Amino acid sequence: MAGLSAEDVEHLGEAGFVVGSGFLGEGLARRARVAAQEHLALGLLKRAGVRRGGDHQLDAAVRGDSIQWLDDQVTGPLLEVWRRFEGLRLQLNELAFLGLRRTELQLAHYPATGAGYQRHRDAFPGDDNRRVTAIVYLNPDWQPAHGGQLALFVDPPRAVAPRLDAFVLFRSELIEHQVEPSHADRFAITAWYSAR
């Protein structure tokens, strides 16, 4: 999946999601993993919060990851990753006429302590905020026993193993999803695309 195919766009429109691989290519995915690990070691990732009412709170039972927002000021392989996700936004606009204007890009790490993220949506219907979520995974030695699958609550249900360069794209307001408890370090980079 170097780029989106017509089938991908159709599936995104009809089923609300697409699962693929090869978005970054193995070489870049491996280099991005190394960079992600360095960012973690440098303390650049912070515990992610959950919104409750208007508040931001930490609740490991809901969400156990640490995150860093990435922008065009990042360097090295992560800058190339940022460019790829920007390219994907333009492609979505060309092929699916989504009029996506903004990208938020986030590096996330789930520690091996069973960290996960409970069932949720990334946006709510009527919200004209996040329209499409795109995720690439950076875990070269992933084993089934490591858990950490992305469960998509679609019919039939889908579970995506967070293997190196596995890729998921879904409509943010439509698809409920959950990160199963992770028993190995789990890195992902997520883009949210908004129309404003």
C-beta of residue 69 within 8 angstroms of C-beta of residue 104: yes
**Contact flag: residue 138 with ligand OGA (CB under 6 A):** no
| Residue 176: both structure tokens together | 């409920």
**Contact flag: residue 180 with Mn ion (CB under 5 A):** no
Nearer to ligand OGA, 117 or 142 (CB): 117
The least distance separating ligand OGA from the CB of residue 119, rounded to whole angstroms, comes to 10
- Going by C-alpha positions, the residue among 50, 110, 107 that lies closest to residue 81 is 107
Residue 150 binding partner per list ligand OGA, Mn ion, none, with a CB distance cut-off of 5 to 8 Å that depends on partner kind: ligand OGA
Nearer to ligand OGA, 29 or 108 (CB): 108
- Strands ordered across the beta sheet of 130-137: 17-21, 166-171, 130-137, 186-194, 102-110, 66-70, 46-47
Q: Name every residue whose Cβ is closer than 8 Å to that of residue 1 and which is 6 or more positions away in sequence.
A: 8, 20, 21, 22, 23, 167
What mask of x and - would describe binding to Mn ion in positions 135 to 174, judged by CB under 5 A?
A: ----------------------------------------
Rule CB under 6 A: choose which of 188, 191, 193, 194 binds ligand OGA. 188
The least distance separating ligand OGA from the CB of residue 94, rounded to whole angstroms, comes to 26
* Local structure of 9: helix, strand or coil: helix
